[in-house]
């Protein structure tokens, strides 16, 4: 087994990442990025962190803003 890519462990300690695979979705492999704000005043700063992350890795055209269970429901039920 080999690894090829950039290791960003620890660089984004304020974000949670979930790598998901589901054969029933249009996009079979998803990376979910989450942040939490402990207070309402932090929300805009957390959003800015997400936007910076998205821009840094050129993910603007790859974003899906629906939760994975919603995507699954829409794909199965229509």
Per-residue model confidence as pLDDT tens digits over 6-20: 766 677 778 888 889
- pLDDT (average), residues 32-55: 91
* Domain of residue 69, residue span: 16-77
User: What is the pTM for the complete model shown?
Assistant: 0.69
pLDDT of residue 24: 87
pLDDT of residue 40: 94
Could you tell me if residue 24 is inside a domain?
Answer: yes
Could you tell me if residue 37 is inside a domain?
Answer: yes
Could you tell me if residue 56 is inside a domain?
Answer: yes
Alpha-carbon distances, residue 4 vs 7, 25, 69, 77 (angstroms) = 9, 26, 30, 38
Could you tell me if residue 7 is inside a domain?
Answer: no
- As for how many domains the chain has, the answer is 1
Could you tell me if residue 11 is inside a domain?
Answer: no
Q: How much is the mean pLDDT over the chain?
A: 86
* CA 54-68-21 angle, 5° bins: 85
């Amino acid at each position: 087994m080999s690894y090829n890519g950039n290791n960003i462990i620890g660089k984004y300690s304020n974000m949670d990442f979930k790598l998901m695979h589901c054969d029933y979705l249009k996009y079979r492999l998803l990376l979910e990025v989450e942040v939490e704000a402990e207070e309402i005043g932090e929300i805009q700063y957390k959003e800015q962190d997400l936007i910076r992350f998205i821009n840094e890795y050129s993910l603007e055209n790859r974003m899906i803003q629906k939760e994975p269970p919603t995507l699954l429901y829409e794909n199965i039920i229509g």
